[in-house]
Amino acid sequence: MLFVADIGNTNIVLGIFQQEKLVKKWRLSTHRNNTRDEYSIFLNSLLRENDITADDITAASLCSVVPMITPRFEEIIQKDFGVEPVVVRPGIKTGLQILYEPPHEVGADRVVNSVAGFRKYGGPLIIVDFGTATTFDVITAGGEYIGGVITPGPRISAEALSVKAAQLPRVDMLKPREVIGKNTTDAMRSGLYYAHPGACDRIIEKISESFDDRPTVIATGGLADSVKEESIYIEKIEHDLTLIGLKMIYEINTND
C-alpha cells in the first residue's frame, strides 16, 4: 500500500492507495504545535480502525506547505512504517518544466496538482485550488508550469470581515436565499457566495488571453463544488487531485 499525505495550512489530507485505487482518505485539522508522537498516535489509530497495519504500508509520498510539520511526518513514515518517503521539494522529478522564478518558491501542493492535472487533461490547463488561499496554476500544452495567481480564499475573506468589522458576525460560505440579503448574515453570505466565483471567472478570463486555444479549467479543494455552481468556466471537479498527484510523483521518482 502507498501512503500519501498533503500537509496544508488548514487541513492535512491523508490517503492510502492499493495499486491504482484510492481505498482510504482522511482529513484532519492542521495543528502546528502537535508533536511527532501526537501525530503518530493519531495516524496509527486511524490505520487500526481501518484494519491497516504499519507493515501494510510499503511506500509513501508527501507534500507540505507547513515546513515545521514536514520533518515530523517524515520521521513517522521512516520509523513507524519503515520506508523512506518521496517528499516533494526542489529537485524532485515531476515531468514538468517549472518556469517559476525562482522555481523553489512554488508551493509543493501546486506542483503536485499540476502534475496530476497535466497527466490527466494535457494542456493548456488552469487548475484552481480552493484552500486557505485560492490558487490558479497554469500549464502549457508542452508541459511548462509558467506560474499562476494567488488570492485570499473565501474563509480568509469571511474571517477578515468579522475581525476587522466589530458588528459583523462570522459566516460560512453558504448559498443565500436570494442575492439581496434581508439581514446582515444573508448579506455577507451573498457577498461571499457570489463574489468569489465572479472573481475566479475574471482571473480565468485574463489568464486565457495568453493562449490561442482556451485552456481546460479544473478545480479542486474544499469549496470547489460551491464555486463551480456559479462559475462559467470551471469544467470539472477533481476532489482527490493532490493525492493522485502524490502517487504519480512517487512513481516518477521510483520507476526506472
**DSSP single-letter state for residue 55:** G
Annotated active-site residue 240? The verdict is: no
Peptide bond into 124 cis (omega under 30): yes
Out of 6, 56, 80, 109, the active site residue is: 109
Greatest alpha-carbon span in the chain:
62
Spatial contact of 246 and 114, defined as CB atoms under 8 Å apart: no
Strand ranges (E), the chain: 2-7, 11-18, 21-29, 59-64, 86-87, 97-98, 125-130, 133-139, 144-152, 216-221, 236-237
Spatial contact of 154 and 130, defined as CB atoms under 8 Å apart: yes
Crossing angle of helices 184-208/154-164, nearest 10°? 140
> Which are the catalytic amino acids?
109
